[in-house]
Amino acid sequence: MSRLRFLILSLPALAVALTGLSLPAQAPALQRRQWTVDGVIREALVHVPANAREKPSPLVFGFHGHGGSMANAARSYRIHALWPEAAVVYPQGLNTPGQLTDPEGKKPGWQHSIGELGDRDLKFFDVMLATMKTELKVDTRRVYSTGHSNGGGFTYMLWAARGEVFAAMAPSASAAGRVRGLLKPKPVLHIAGENDELVKYSWQQAMIASLLALNQCGESRPWELDDRISIHPSKVGCPVLTAIHPGTHKYPAEAPEVIVKFFKSHPAEPARENEGR
């Protein structure tokens, strides 16, 4: 695997006012949306492209890590700023017991496996996706998910539970051992830090090895769109890309640009257009 020399960016916690989120002037505006799921109010920050109701638009979900927020995700991932033509949803998690920290569940996060916590977050995803498809002209061949840490784990869980929805996935700093055996081949970009003190690099190496086997991948080579990234070509058309950096568990500042480039280059095969849940 090649070593991607990401810069590591540590961002302070951000607060979201009821009127919205303050982002750099060049970033498109975000809407604060709410849904009621099983009697609980859920919310997300949403970017809607100007012509998304008339022109098919990609759709990206970005899930924050444990203890994070939709504001952190919007600020860190910047998908809406880098790819303004895509509809982007940054959901807010609920207080959740963590697997590695916060066992009492005093901080927000996401369910770790299918069926856990009454599938509250999987139901939330289904509601958000249905809303986006109803309100916008979503290009169903270009639906994606990304997330860091617990958000990356939830991205893997969505792959296991709703894999037919997505064209490609881009988890960061996650291992997702609980759902590993439920995955079906799909293009994936996995981002990992060699000195991750929380989600150990050895765990992530094992996850990557399982992805290579799942997607029937061969030897790696530099990715033609970014030679800092390794691509493992796949016999079934589902390459595994790896972005390995020398940092810790912190989200790399250069990750969003690589993720957007990866998503843009991986729409689903045309045959998937007629697939449904």
- Domains detected in the chain: 31-270 (3.40.50.1820)
pLDDT at 154: 97
Beta bridge partners of 36: 41
The conformation of residue 268, written as its DSSP 8-state character, comes to P
User: Which residue's entry shows tokens 């599938």?
Assistant: 119
Beta bridge partners of 231: 221, 241
Q: Is residue 203 within 8 Å of 196, Cβ to Cβ?
A: no
Q: What is the model's pTM?
A: 0.88
pLDDT at 177: 75
Pair of tokens at residue 44? 């997300």
pLDDT at 80: 97
Rounded to 10 deg, the angle between the 70-77 and 255-264 helix axes is 80
- Position 75 confidence tier, pLDDT thresholds 50, 70, 90: very high
Least Cα distance to 45 among 85, 16, 76, 84 occurs for 16
* Mean pLDDT, range 65-94, rounded to an integer: 97
For residues 256 and 251, give the distance between their C-alpha atoms in angstroms, rounded to a whole number: 10
pLDDT at 26: 60
